[in-house]
Amino acid sequence: MTRVSRKKKRFKKWHKITLSILAILFLLVAGFVGYTFYTVNKALSTMHEPIDRDFSDLRTGKVQLGDQEPFSILLIGIDKEEGDLEKGRSDSLIVLTVNPKTESMKMVSIPRDTRTEIIGRGNLDKINHAHAFGGVEMSIPTVENFLDIPIDYYVKINMQGFKDIVDAVGGVDVNNKFAFSSGGYNFNEGNVSLNGDSALSFVRMRKQDPRGDFGRADRQKQVVQAVINRGASFSGLTNLDSILGAIGGNVKTDLSSGEMVDITQNYKEARHDLEVLQIEGSNSTIEGIYYFQVSEEERTRVSGILKEHLELN
* Tens of pLDDT, residues 58-103: 888 889 998 999 999 998 877 554 445 565 667 678 899 999 999 9
* Tens of pLDDT, residues 266-297: 887 887 788 888 899 998 999 999 999 999 99
Position 11 pLDDT exceeds 50 = no
Query: CB–CB of 292/280 below 8 Å?
Result: no
The string over 38-66, giving b where at least 16 C-beta atoms fall within 10 Å of a residue's C-beta and e elsewhere, is eebeebbebbbbeeeeeebebbeeebebe
Q: How far is CA 283 from the centre of its chain?
A: 24
Percent helix, percent strand, percent coil in the chain, to nearest 5: 40, 25, 35
The pLDDT assigned to 309 comes to 97
The pLDDT assigned to 58 comes to 87
Average confidence (pLDDT) over 94-122: 91
**Dihedral sign (CA 199, 204, 157, 312):** negative
Average confidence (pLDDT) over 181-200: 92
Structure confidence at residue 20 as a pLDDT band (50, 70, 90): very low
Residues 6+ apart with CB under 8 A from 57: none
- Top-confidence residue, 186 or 53: 186
Q: Which has the minimum average pLDDT: 3-12, 49-58, 129-138?
A: 3-12
- Top-confidence residue, 26 or 43: 43
The pLDDT assigned to 300 comes to 97
Position 264 pLDDT exceeds 60 = yes
Q: In whole angstroms, how large is the CA radius of gyration of the chain?
A: 19
The pLDDT assigned to 13 comes to 32
The pLDDT assigned to 184 comes to 92
Percent of the chain having pLDDT more than 70?
Answer: 72
Which of these, 185, 184, 198, lies nearest to 226 by C-alpha position? 198
**Which domains, ranges and CATH numbers included, belong to the chain?**
16-169+212-309 (3.30.420.590)
Whole-number average pLDDT of the chain: 78
Cα 14–Cα 91–Cα 41 angle in degrees, nearest 5: 85
Which of these, 92, 98, 53, lies nearest to 73 by C-alpha position? 98
Position 301 pLDDT exceeds 90 = yes
